[in-house]
């Protein structure tokens, strides 16, 4: 497959087929798993602010119904097409399966450049898209649950929810029709940073595996590792933030306007604020400027996090990538040719299909919150604090020593919603990492971590069909 005729869904199928030969399942069942179950193409008119009528192209794909509801974001981008949405929906199936989130894969896309539309126009597009999904039965708490993706956020999800509620009046669990909502509308604390935090947790866990670090001639752990992050959007910013917080050195940050570099490490928050004020990461005080953003990918580092768009590392530039670990924060940043190159070279590629599953994992927590109609921590926070206080008082009474105020506060503090979310995400990413690594270790013929992840996903989906008696 040449990059010139690149098909994103074709690449996903190629990776699937590469992994399928390491499974025991019938070819008919495998073919069923790899196909998209339902593809909805939409064309609808909206009125622009200047009075012109524009026809909008949009999609919603449900890849798998082995579990329901389906789950996947809605992206607004000028490059949106059916092939891309199908590929992302397929990846969502495998992603959810790997991290044990009980959803089938779905994805939505609207072919617009959101920067070229006013807020009012974006609202009309979002609401019309949602109403079309409702009419076609492609949205609902038990049917298909969208979320934010590239070009969308809490604002758009609030419009989706409001439209759904207005058309499904009285539905008790209506808030569960979409995730990534503002906290005031049933969102969950920690959702905004979830994908970037998941990227950090997954990469950190790989860096804690002695066998892998020994092969790469790297010390265990994240501390002092040199990290490069491409993309300072929601995923890239939070990933970089948590890497820095854990003691790694974020030596380069790249955006579409260029890149900046500092061997001693950049202050991620300061760079973020600089870009907010100036509109660019360039001219950040003390940093070296790199004119072409993609050149930053080729700098010496331990960990490279491409967290922007698809296909940024391909057959042409893969030989110039010096990172020992590549963590896919974005969806599909490596082409299959790049994958093959790194597998032969021995570079560890941590695949997107599980590494950026933090968003859907925390979306699952939000969905559960919406269905249960109670905030995480509300029932147990004070009880936990009272129990801890009682234990601490007993210890102080027995020892005759008083704890200092800071230590007392830490010990007595009961968990808030965000603590539960972070804890649940950390547990999810650690378990998924070791499940994939176990499959890889047990079958040395598996060439890379991505193939091992696909094997895990295929087996889990196939077992469900087999247990249902749909396939022998």
Task: Point out which residues pair with 304 in neighbouring strands.
Answer: 228, 326
Closest CA to 96 of 467, 472, 466, 464: 464
HSE value, Cβ hemisphere, 13 Å, CA-based, for 374: 7
Q: End-to-end CA distance of the chain, in Å?
A: 34
* Parallel, antiparallel or unpaired: strands 258-261 and 70-76: unpaired
Closest CA to 78 of 117, 110, 48: 110
Instruction: Please check whether residue 339 is in contact with residue 15, taking contact to mean a CB–CB distance below 8 angstroms.
Output: yes
Q: Angle, nearest 10°, between helix axes 8-20 and 449-468?
A: 80
DSSP calls for 394-422: HHHHHH--PPPHHHHHHHHPPP-HHHHHH
147 is written with which tokens? 């979320």
Residue 472 DSSP SS3: coil
HSE value, Cβ hemisphere, 13 Å, CA-based, for 394: 6
Other beta carbons within 10 angstroms of residue 185's beta carbon come to 15
| 107 annotated active-site | yes
Catalytic residue among 107, 225, 249, 381: 107
Compute the distance between CA of residue 142 and CA of residue 12 in angstroms, rounded to an integer: 27
Other beta carbons within 10 angstroms of residue 289's beta carbon come to 12
**Gyration radius from the chain CA atoms:** 23
Compute the distance between CA of residue 154 and CA of residue 17 in angstroms, rounded to an integer: 36
CA distances from 126 to 45, 109, 130, 347 (A): 12, 11, 6, 41
Residue 60 DSSP SS3: strand
Instruction: Please check whether residue 235 is in contact with residue 275, taking contact to mean a CB–CB distance below 8 angstroms.
Output: no
Structure letter (DSSP) for residue 287:
P
Compute the distance between CA of residue 209 and CA of residue 334 in angstroms, rounded to an integer: 23
232 is written with which tokens? 């300072």
**H or E element in which residue 365 lies:** helix 358-372
Omega of the bond prior to 355 within 30 degrees of 0, cis?
Answer: no
Residue 207 DSSP SS3: coil
5 is written with which tokens? 């005729």
Closest CA to 315 of 344, 279, 355: 344
> Which amino acids are annotated catalytic?
107
């Amino acid at each position: 497959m040449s990059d010139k005729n690149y098909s994103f869904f074709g690449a996903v199928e190629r990776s699937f087929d590469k992994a399928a030969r390491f499974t025991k399942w019938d070819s008919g069942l495998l073919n069923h798993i790899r196909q998209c179950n339902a593809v909805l193409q939409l064309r609808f008119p909206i009125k622009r602010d200047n009075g012109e009528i524009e026809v909008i192209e949009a999609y919603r794909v449900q890849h798998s119904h082995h579990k329901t509801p389906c789950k996947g974001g809605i992206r607004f981008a000028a490059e949106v097409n059916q092939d891309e949405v199908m590929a992302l929906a397929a990846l969502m199936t495998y992603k959810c399966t790997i991290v044990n989130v009980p959803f089938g894969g779905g994805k939505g896309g609207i072919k617009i450049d959101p920067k070229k539309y006013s807020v009012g126009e974006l609202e009309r597009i979002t609401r019309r898209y949602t109403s079309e999904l409702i009419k076609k039965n492609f949205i609902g708490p038990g049917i298909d649950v969208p979320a934010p993706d590239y070009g969308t956020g809490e604002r758009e999800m609030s419009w989706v929810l409001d439209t759904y509620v207005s058309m499904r009046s009285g539905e008790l669990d209506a808030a569960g029709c979409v995730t990534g909502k503002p906290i005031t509308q049933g969102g969950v604390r920690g959702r905004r940073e979830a994908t970037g935090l998941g990227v950090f947790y997954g990469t950190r866990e790989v860096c804690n595996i002695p066998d892998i670090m020994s092969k790469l001639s790297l010390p265990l752990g994240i501390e002092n590792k040199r990290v490069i992050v491409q993309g300072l959007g929601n995923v890239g910013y939070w990933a970089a933030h948590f890497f820095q917080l854990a003691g790694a050195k974020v030596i380069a940050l790249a955006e579409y306007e260029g890149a900046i570099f500092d061997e001693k490490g950049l202050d991620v928050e300061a760079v973020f604020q600089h870009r907010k004020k100036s509109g660019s990461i360039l001219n950040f005080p003390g940093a070296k400027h790199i004119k072409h953003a993609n050149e930053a990918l080729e700098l010496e580092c331990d960990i490279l996090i491409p967290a922007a768009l698809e296909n940024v590392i391909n057959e042409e530039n893969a030989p110039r990538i010096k990172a020992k670990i590549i963590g896919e924060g974005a969806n599909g940043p490596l082409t299959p040719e790049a994958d093959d190159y790194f597998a032969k070279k021995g570079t560890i590629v941590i695949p997107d299909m599980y590494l950026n599953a933090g968003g859907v994992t925390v979306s699952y927590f939000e969905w559960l919150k919406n269905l249960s109609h109670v905030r995480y921590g509300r029932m147990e926070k004070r009880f936990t604090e009272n129990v801890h206080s009682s234990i601490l008082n007993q210890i102080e009474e027995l020892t005759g020593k008083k704890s200092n105020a800071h230590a007392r506060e830490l010990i007595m503090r009961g968990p808030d919603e965000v603590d539960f979310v972070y804890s649940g995400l950390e547990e999810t990413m650690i378990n998924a990492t070791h499940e994939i690594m176990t499959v890889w270790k047990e079958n040395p013929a598996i060439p890379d971590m991505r193939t091992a992840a696909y094997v895990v996903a295929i087996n889990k989906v196939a077992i469900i069909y087999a247990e249902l008696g749909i396939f022998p």
